Structure 1
Amino acid sequence: MKAMVLHAPGRPLALEERPDPRPARGEIRVRVEACAVCRTDLHVVDGELPRPALPLVPGHEIVGTVEQVGADVVALAPGRRVGIGWLGHACGHCPYCAGGRENLCDDPVFTGYTRDGGFATHALADADFAFPLDGFDDPVAAAPLMCAGLIGWRSLVAAGPARRVGLYGFGAAAHIIAQVCRWQGREVYAFARPGDEAAQALALSLGVEWAGGSDERPPAELDAAIIFAPVGALVPAALAAVRKGGRVVCGGIHMSDIPRFPYALLWGERELVSVANLTRRDAVEFLSVAPRAGVRAVTTVYPLAEANRALDDLRAGRLHGAAVLVP
């Protein structure tokens, strides 16, 4: 197999040849058809998330075909297309798992962070955390759904029954969940980097009510806002944009420090909450909703060997939609 490997944070990934991995009990080996590039991959590669399992193959938005199964795997057979996301395993017995909150597991495994991921031609996965993608015929279009879509969905659920929703950071997650919002009959207000007219144009093409810079105020009070950009300064901006009783959801795994802000921005029973990881139930729910909502991911395809270029383009803000690596 071939893989793009991280040997130290801050260094470019190296293309390497490795033996094909053998699935252990309960595991599957997947031939990777596509793996989207997530901002979390940047946080791992750039050293903003501590203690990655080096040397590491990043990537956790994987779509592939089951090639080999380990002992005790009965639900998935060779030839079936599956998706693999960020949560690669949960212990199943800690208080969070027992309470239905496996996203907060005390002893988790994360794909592309604490175990090798999908920037490769092959990947191993826990069969219980791989999701059948029957009916998803385009692996490139399906790959961003496995994290950008899932985290977007969990964030939207956390936002509650808001009619007017603001999306800060109009990238991979926002452009997917904006389509779900429109299908649900919500109004969407899109906030992109100041001056990023291409991102604003993409938002408008998806039917949002308004698109502008993240330094602007929307033309109407929001019921809720979701922050996908890893920029702490957007928290007080979003709080200022939501009505009394509104909610601001932080949807990223990493964010720069939140600056001091006056209590008046939080007063009025405004709420500030975060979303951490995801659950398998999130995947089941969203993968049912996405086809009915007609979700279409906007993608830019890169060969596997050009993973560093894809990461650079994401880091520099040159991407609109999602980057996808294809072996």
Structure 2
Amino acid sequence: MRAMVLEEIGSPLVPVERLLPEPHAGEIRLRVEACAVCRTDLHVIDGELPRPKLPLVPGHEIVGIVEAVGAGVDEARIGRRVGVPWLGHTCGTCFYCRSNAENLCDEPQFTGYSRDGGFATHVVADEDYAFELDPGADPVSLAPLLCAGLISWRSLKRAGDGRKIGLYGFGAAAHIITQVCARQGRQVYAFTRAGDRSGQRFARDLGAVWAGGSDEAPPVLLDAAIIFAPVGALVPRALKAVRKGGRVVCGGIHMSDIPAMPYALLWGERELLSVANLTREDAREFLAIAGQAGVRTHTTAYRLSDANRAIADLRTGKLNGAAVLVP
């Protein structure tokens, strides 16, 4: 098998030839059809998330065909298309797992972080964290749903039932959840990098009722705002943009420091929340909703060997939508 491997933090990925991995009990092996590139991959590569498994194959938005199964796995899964997300395994016994909060598991495994991921031709996954996907759909289009879609869905649930939703950082996650919001009859207010006219047009084309820079105030007070950009300075701006009783949800796994801010921005029973990982129930809910809403992802495909270029394009904001590696 071929893989793009992170050998040292902060270094480019290296192409490596490896033996095919064998699935252990409860595991499956996939032939990877597509794997999207997520901003979390940048946080792993740059060392902003501590202690990754090294050497590491990144990638956690995986679409593939099951080609081998380990002991205890139904052989009927062979030949089926499945998706593998960030949360790759939970202990099942800690307080959080027993409290229907497996996203907060004390001993989790994460795909492309603590176990090898999908920047490769093949990957092994826990069968309980591999979700059935439409066999007739385009695998490149499906890949961003496995993280950008799932995290944006969990973030929207945390944002509550408000109708006016602000989205700060209009990348892969925002472009997906905007379509869901439009289907639900909500109004989306999109915030991009200052001066990013292309990104603002992209947001309006997907159904946003307003789009402007993250340094601008929206034309109305928002019921809730979701911050996808890893920029702590956006937190006080978003709090200022929501009404009394509104919510601000931080949807990323990493964010720069939040600056000191006056208590008045939080007062008025505004709420500041974060989203951590996802649950299997989130995945089942969202994949069904994405199909019902007719979500269409906007992607740029790259060869597996061009993974470093895809990462650079994501880092510099050259993409509208998501980068996807195709082995």
TM over 0.5: yes
Q: Distance in 1 between matches of 2:187 and 2:135?
A: 29
- Match of 1:317, as an amino acid? G
Aligned twin of 1:57: 57
Task: Report Cα offsets for 1:44-71 as digits up to 9, x if no partner.
Answer: 0011111000000000000000010001
Q: CA deviation at 1:145?
A: 0.1
Aligned partners of 2:81 and 2:135 also within 8 Å = no
Structure 1 runs, 4 residues or longer, greater than 4 Å off? none
Q: Distance in 2 between matches of 1:209 and 1:104?
A: 35
Aligned twin of 1:118: 118
Aligned twin of 2:108: 108
1:9 and 2:1 are equivalent in the alignment: no
Task: Report Cα offsets for 1:234-265 as digits up to 9, x if no partner.
Answer: 00000000000000000000000000000000
Query: Are residues 97 and 46 of structure 1, via their aligned partners in 2, closer, same or farther at CA, if it must alter by over 3 Å?
Result: same
- Match of 2:141, as an amino acid? A
Task: Report Cα offsets for 1:50-96 as digits up to 9, x if no partner.
Answer: 10000000000000000100010127521100000000000000000
Aligned twin of 2:216: 216
Aligned twin of 2:174: 174
Structure 2 SS opposite 1:248 = strand
Q: Distance in 2 between matches of 1:176 and 1:63?
A: 17
Aligned twin of 1:156: 156
Aligned partners of 1:38 and 1:59 also within 8 Å = yes
Structure 2 SS opposite 1:32 = strand
Aligned partners of 1:167 and 1:226 also within 8 Å = yes
- Match of 2:286, as an amino acid? F
Aligned twin of 1:127: 127
Aligned twin of 1:189: 189
Structure 2 SS opposite 1:225 = strand
Query: Are residues 136 and 180 of structure 1, via their aligned partners in 2, closer, same or farther at CA, if it must alter by over 3 Å?
Result: farther
Query: Are residues 112 and 253 of structure 1, via their aligned partners in 2, closer, same or farther at CA, if it must alter by over 3 Å?
Result: same
1:258 and 2:242 are equivalent in the alignment: no
Aligned twin of 1:271: 271
TM-score scaled by structure 2? 0.99
- The 5 Å alignment of 1:19-98 reads 19-74=19-74, 77-98=77-98
Q: CA deviation at 1:134?
A: 2.9
Structure 2 SS opposite 1:15 = strand
Task: List runs of 5+ in structure 2 lacking aligned partners.
Answer: none
Aligned twin of 2:292: 292
Structure 2 SS opposite 1:246 = strand
Q: Distance in 1 between matches of 2:58 and 2:120?
A: 9
Task: Report Cα offsets for 1:127-161 as digits up to 9, x if no partner.
Answer: 00000003551100000000000000000000000
- Match of 1:68, as an amino acid? A
Q: Distance in 2 between matches of 1:146 and 1:125?
A: 14
Q: Distance in 2 between matches of 1:63 and 1:266?
A: 41
- Aligned CA RMSD, in angstroms, stands at 0.8
Q: Distance in 2 between matches of 1:195 and 1:8?
A: 35
Query: Are residues 250 and 219 of structure 1, via their aligned partners in 2, closer, same or farther at CA, if it must alter by over 3 Å?
Result: same
Query: Are residues 199 and 13 of structure 1, via their aligned partners in 2, closer, same or farther at CA, if it must alter by over 3 Å?
Result: same
Aligned partners of 2:199 and 2:320 also within 8 Å = yes
Query: Are residues 75 and 197 of structure 1, via their aligned partners in 2, closer, same or farther at CA, if it must alter by over 3 Å?
Result: farther
- Match of 2:269, as an amino acid? E
Structure 1 SS opposite 2:77 = coil
Task: List runs of 5+ in structure 1 lacking aligned partners.
Answer: none
Q: Distance in 1 between matches of 2:83 and 2:306?
A: 22
